[in-house]
């Protein structure tokens, strides 16, 4: 067996083990939301639910790194994964902002979904960050754009099991469980593929000077 095929098997095993953790956390999260809420447990459930959004985004970003062949224990990948966690967890703060209260009774009575749950708006912001990173030749901003996309997509996808997606002004039907699992586990592969296509296209279209700039930032095409 060649070294390359060994690496491929290790990569597949890593992907399978992280994807399995992702599914276990998702199932636990679903179970959590079916628990009857009382004034005592409602804050714990809301906080745990928000943390589950974070964990799913963070594991999804690790899967993106695995697909790109990056070592997931490197500091930079762990920081990126933490950023995905914080971004996905922060999205639910819009409920509090729109209700102007931390009282869960008031928060749960909002007539519309809050603005950070508008998928078309958040996708536009993600694509803008990715584009700004490219235009300013700033690979940190560019990478954050993909992290932001992973965080919002995994968060909105999980919410869509109950509420569907909100593509302003339209709402879709709730996403069936099988489609949720399929999309959640394949999204990192698609994200990684898109990242490589964008990076290759960008570097091919630009002069060698741009290549030098990227290399000066200690980032090459393998890492994009
Ligand atoms: Zn949400």
Residue 153 has pLDDT above 90, yes or no: yes
Among candidate residues 81, 72, 86, the one with its CA nearest the CA of residue 15 = 72
Contact 22, 56 (CB under 8 A): yes
Rounded distance from Cα 57 to ligand 1 centre (Å): 12
Rounded distance from Cα 158 to ligand 1 centre (Å): 8
Rounded distance from Cα 3 to ligand 1 centre (Å): 43
Which residues make beta-bridge pairs with 170? 167
Rounded distance from Cα 44 to ligand 1 centre (Å): 16
Rounded distance from Cα 91 to ligand 1 centre (Å): 6
- pLDDT at residue 73, as a whole number: 79
3 state DSSP class of 61 = helix
- Boundaries of domain holding 82: 3-223
Rounded distance from Cα 179 to ligand 1 centre (Å): 18
Rounded distance from Cα 152 to ligand 1 centre (Å): 9
% the chain with pLDDT above 70? 90
Ligand 1 ion: nearby residues, β-carbon < 5 Å: 92, 159
Rounded distance from Cα 92 to ligand 1 centre (Å): 5
Rounded distance from Cα 53 to ligand 1 centre (Å): 8
Report the alpha-carbon distance of residue 216 to residue 224 in Å, rounded.
14
Q: How confident is the model at residue 110 (pLDDT cuts 50, 70, 90)?
A: confident
3 state DSSP class of 123 = helix
Domain count, the chain: 1
Q: How confident is the model at residue 71 (pLDDT cuts 50, 70, 90)?
A: confident
Which of 33-47, 130-144, 147-161 has the weakest average pLDDT?
Answer: 33-47
Rounded distance from Cα 95 to ligand 1 centre (Å): 8
Which of 32-36, 42-46, 105-109 has maximum average pLDDT? 42-46
- pLDDT at residue 221, as a whole number: 47
- Please state, as a whole number, how many other Cβ atoms lie within 10 Å of the Cβ of residue 198: 17
- pLDDT at residue 59, as a whole number: 96
Q: What is the pTM of this model?
A: 0.85
Rounded distance from Cα 31 to ligand 1 centre (Å): 16
């Amino acid at each position: 067996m060649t070294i390359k095929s060994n690496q491929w098997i290790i990569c597949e095993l890593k992907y399978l083990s992280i994807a399995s953790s992702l599914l276990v956390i998702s199932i636990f999260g679903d179970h959590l939301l079916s628990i009857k809420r009382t004034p005592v447990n409602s804050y714990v459930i809301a906080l745990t639910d928000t943390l589950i959004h974070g964990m799913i985004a963070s594991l999804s970003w690790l899967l993106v790194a695995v697909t790109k062949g990056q070592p997931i224990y490197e500091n930079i990948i762990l920081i990126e994964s933490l950023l995905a966690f914080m971004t996905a967890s922060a999205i639910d703060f819009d409920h509090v902002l729109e209700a102007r209260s931390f009282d869960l009774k008031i928060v749960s009575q909002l007539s519309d979904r809050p603005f950070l749950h508008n998928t078309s708006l958040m996708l536009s912001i993600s694509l803008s960050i990715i584009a700004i990173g490219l235009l300013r030749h700033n690979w940190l901003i560019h990478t954050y754009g993909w992290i932001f996309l992973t965080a919002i997509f995994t968060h909105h996808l999980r919410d869509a099991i109950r509420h569907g997606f909100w593509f302003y002004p339209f709402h879709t039907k709730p996403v069936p469980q099988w489609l949720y699992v399929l999309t959640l586990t394949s999204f990192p592969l698609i994200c990684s593929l898109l990242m490589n296509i964008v990076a290759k296209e960008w570097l091919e279209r630009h002069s060698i000077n741009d290549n030098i700039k990227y290399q000066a930032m200690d980032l090459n095409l393998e890492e994009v």
